[in-house]
């Protein structure tokens, strides 16, 4: 259930930042500051720092404090109930109509689809340790957040048993997904790019990717898959010989 009070609080803060700027612009700047502030402790990147400062310099200190309060509201809302909070804020304030006519799938539909797709997922996790999920058009991340909820209902730990690759061509969607995945402890590679043309422009890994050493887990999975491909490609006689060692 969406917390309407938290959504109203977030939108009220958003509208109070700077009335001289377009609301979508302020929202986009908030996403930039929030996303890069979450990523920077794990990257320690001059490039990320420059991107953050390029936006921050356009606001007064008291306005930056409002942005910090907005992030705190998102944290509180997601701790209370995991859902597509930023997507709902974006849609409820009619920014979707203002900005390219975007409309996100309602979360209850995302949850229904996740339940259909993830039936028996615990058996896959028992066999290989974790699952990988690809989302080629992530929007604000609603489908992945719903997948996380289904895994929890199945008694699984999404932070250690699900890795996500989420792609969206839109910068707002890229950053909304990254922020919400980061705050919900979802291990993900979030990409701003075109899934159809395979043109990719920016990639960020969420904090739990680093904290839970997903790089090592994915490398081990790739090594096992490559070894299986090599074995399957061997002639039957060679396979018999290999089995003797």
Arithmetic mean of pLDDT, 15-25 = 93
CA nearest to 133, candidates 123, 144, 141, 142:
144
More confidently predicted of 17 and 240? 17
> Is residue 39 situated within a structural domain?
yes
Domain containing 197 equals 107-228
Statement to judge: residues 113 and 89 lie in one domain: no
CATH of residue 161: 3.40.50
pTM score of the predicted model: 0.89
Statement to judge: residues 52 and 135 lie in one domain: no
Q: Tell me which of 79, 98, 117 is where a domain ends.
A: 98
Dist. CA 188–CA 177, nearest whole Å: 10
Tell me the per-residue pLDDT of 82-134, one tens digit each, with 9 for 90 and over: 999 999 998 877 776 656 656 778 888 999 999 998 888 888 898 889 999 99
Residue 225 has what pLDDT?
74
For residue 138, how many other CB atoms are within 10 A of its CB?
A: 27
Q: Tell me which of 67, 98, 129 is where a domain ends.
A: 98
Statement to judge: residues 50 and 93 lie in one domain: yes
Q: Tell me which of 98, 118, 152 is where a domain ends.
A: 98
What is the DSSP pairing of strand 187-194 with strand 199-205? antiparallel
Dist. CA 213–CA 209, nearest whole Å: 6
> Is residue 116 situated within a structural domain?
yes
Statement to judge: residues 87 and 122 lie in one domain: no
Return the half-sphere exposure (C-beta side, CA atoms, 13 A cut-off) of residue 55: 21
Using 50, 70 and 90 to split pLDDT, how confident is the model at 226? confident
> Is residue 245 situated within a structural domain?
no
Dist. CA 178–CA 186, nearest whole Å: 9
> Is residue 243 situated within a structural domain?
no
Residue 96 has what pLDDT?
63
> Is residue 241 situated within a structural domain?
no
Statement to judge: residues 71 and 24 lie in one domain: yes
Residues 208 and 187: beta-carbon distance below 8 Å: yes
Q: What is the DSSP string of 156-225?
A: --HHHHEEEEEEESSHHHHHHHHHHHHHTT-EEEEEEEETTTTEEEEEEE-HHHHHTTHHHHHHHHHHHH
Tell me the per-residue pLDDT of 186-220, one tens digit each, with 9 for 90 and over: 999 999 999 999 999 999 999 999 999 999 999 98
Statement to judge: residues 77 and 135 lie in one domain: no
Please state the domain count of the chain.
2
Tell me the per-residue pLDDT of 125-170, one tens digit each, with 9 for 90 and over: 988 899 999 999 999 999 999 999 999 998 999 999 999 999 999 9
> Is residue 150 situated within a structural domain?
yes
Statement to judge: residues 144 and 224 lie in one domain: yes
Q: With a cut of 80, say whether residue 52 has pLDDT above it.
A: yes
Residue 43 has what pLDDT?
96
Statement to judge: residues 57 and 86 lie in one domain: yes
Statement to judge: residues 147 and 214 lie in one domain: yes
Residue 230 has what pLDDT?
63
Residue 117 has what pLDDT?
87
Statement to judge: residues 207 and 138 lie in one domain: yes
Statement to judge: residues 223 and 150 lie in one domain: yes
> Is residue 156 situated within a structural domain?
yes
Statement to judge: residues 153 and 92 lie in one domain: no
The residues pairing with 166 across neighbouring beta strands, listed in sequence order, are: 135, 190
Of the ranges 15-29, 65-79, 95-109, 206-220, which one carries the lowest mean pLDDT score? 95-109
> Is residue 237 situated within a structural domain?
no
């Amino acid at each position: 259930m969406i917390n309407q009070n938290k959504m109203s609080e977030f939108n009220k803060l958003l509208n109070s930042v700077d009335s001289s700027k377009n609301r979508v612009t302020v929202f986009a700047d908030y996403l930039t500051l929030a996303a890069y502030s979450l990523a920077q402790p794990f990257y320690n990147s001059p490039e990320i720092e420059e991107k953050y400062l390029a936006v921050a310099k356009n606001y007064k200190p008291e306005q930056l404090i409002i942005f910090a309060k907005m992030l705190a509201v998102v944290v509180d809302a997601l701790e209370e109930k995991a859902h597509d909070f930023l997507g709902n804020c974006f849609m409820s304030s009619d920014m979707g109509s203002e900005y390219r006519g975007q409309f996100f799938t309602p979360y209850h539909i995302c949850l229904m689809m996740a339940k259909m797709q993830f039936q028996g997922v615990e058996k896959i996790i028992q066999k290989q340790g974790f699952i990988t999920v690809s989302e080629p058009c992530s929007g604000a991340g609603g489908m992945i957040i719903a997948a996380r909820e289904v895994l929890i209902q199945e008694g699984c730990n999404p932070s250690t048993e699900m890795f996500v690759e989420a792609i969206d061509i839109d910068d707002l969607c890229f950053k909304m997904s990254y922020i919400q995945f980061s705050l919900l402890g979802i291990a993900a590679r979030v990409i701003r790019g075109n899934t159809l043309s395979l043109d990719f422009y920016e990639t960020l890994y969420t904090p739990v990717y680093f904290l839970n050493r997903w790089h090592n887990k994915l490398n081990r999975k790739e090594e096992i898959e490559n070894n299986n491909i090599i074995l399957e490609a061997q002639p039957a006689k060679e396979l018999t010989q290999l089995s003797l060692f």
